[in-house]
Amino acid sequence: MNCPRIIFAATQSGSGKTTITLGVLLALRKMGLRVQPFKAGPDYLDPLQHSAVCARISRNLDSWLMPPGAILELFTRNAKGANISVIEGVMGLYDGFRDTEYGSTAHLAKILGAPVILVLNAASFSRSAAAIVLGCKEFDKKVNLSGVILNNIGSPNHYHFTKSAIEKKTRIPVLGFLPKEIGIQLSERHLGLVPAQEKRPNEGLYDKLRALVEKNIDLRRILRISRKSLGLRQDKTAYAPRGCGKVRVNIAIAKDKAFNFYYQDNLDILEVLGARLVEFSPLKDKSLPPGIDAMYIGGGYPELFSAQLSANRRMREAVSGYAKKGLPIYAECGGLMYLVKNIISFEGKSFPMAGVFDCSAVMADKRQALGYIEIEVKKDNILSRKGDKIRAHTFHWSYLKNLSKDIRFAYKVTKGKDRVYEDGLIKDNVLASYAHLHFASHINFAKNFIKSCLTYKDEK
């Protein structure tokens, strides 16, 4: 299958990879192209920005969470109909799980047979940039490093000397630059960029970024490089859930400014397996959608909307009531926080939540967890069975406090070599966890969720 594609990587986080990716997306769209965005790694925020500028939903591809067959299936299915696919990398080009390549931008580039354009922050050097690019080129010769874009260029001479050194020493073309102090700053907070659903960057910022890219970066050459991508061949064992051909269950999906961290492919998988997804807002709606057979509450920023969530007492009571009736409810991270007794804000103020679990979610003054985890299921639940294993990731600033003695945990979680802890609170048909799952990592978790919905539907 011929899918023109390009990956924007970087030497390290903070090099300007997201800014340049967004600028290129905007410029390619201005050219009239259909652009399909992707994001390497377990990230919710960058894809929301991609989706806002491309009018196509950005998808996550992660070579630690997903097997290669799943990556190829997800990529080729979503790239159909696009003139070009643009993949934003994660961290530095070769940074992956611990000291391996898994989860890295480089590993994803090899799986997809995609050319890589390296974004390099050249603010503090010129000729030394060639040594860095040469190192990236030689580190793994199976990675097709096809171009360089320089960020934070201070003057025409700075660009000329840096470009000349790189091209002489590496024979890799420099495709352009962004100038230093361009006055473009995307809004950020404690988990990263402010979601585009919550606060869309102003059009002036987008226009300025697009104009800078159009002026200083060779877009035509990027397009030519993207067309040199290797052909993709689907593995016969590739992941692809089989659809049932009809709607079997209705799942309520919490979607608003407080809850918007979802992998789109998770939602698509549920639909393929027979779910009709009905959105509702825990912030604004006074009741849950009628006729539902399950509920899915994703992550987000409930801590920033605690007062509004708490004030919507009718919704909190509705969620609690459905939980008592045995409705299957799956909640991740922010969703977990909504299901506990109360959220304690950064300022120490308490806000009542749904109260399904008798404990508090306390906002800390520093990040509590970040990175990949491995889960072993210790107790049967609505998604999995004892003995099942799945890879996941976690990223949160809150922690649970005052847990009652009767709270049970479904998961044994291993993070790194030494840290082991419990997660996955279970009560009746409710499962709430700090872990973020991608169903392509273990399709049976999605299938089991649908089975739980069907059981509830038959018994209610």
For the annotated catalytic residues, the residue numbers are 333
104, 240, 119, 93: which is closest to 172 by C-alpha? 119
The separation between the first and the last C-alpha atoms of the chain, rounded to the nearest angstrom, is: 47
Contact status, residue 18 vs residue 184, Cβ threshold 8 Å: no
DSSP 8-state secondary structure symbol assigned to residue 439: G
Contact status, residue 37 vs residue 46, Cβ threshold 8 Å: no
In the block, which residue shows the tokens 């003995």?
387
Give CA–CA dist 130/168, Å, rounded.
Answer: 8
What contacts 10, CB < 8 A, 6 or more positions away? Answer: 16, 17, 89, 91, 92, 93, 118, 119, 120, 121
Q: What angle do CA 173, 111, 170 make, to 5 degrees?
A: 20
Other beta carbons less than 10 A from residue 404's beta carbon: 9
Q: Which two tokens stand for residue 126?
A: 């010129």
303, 293, 211: which is closest to 257 by C-alpha? 303
Region label for 297, one of left (φ > 0), alpha (ψ between -120 and 50) or beta (otherwise): beta
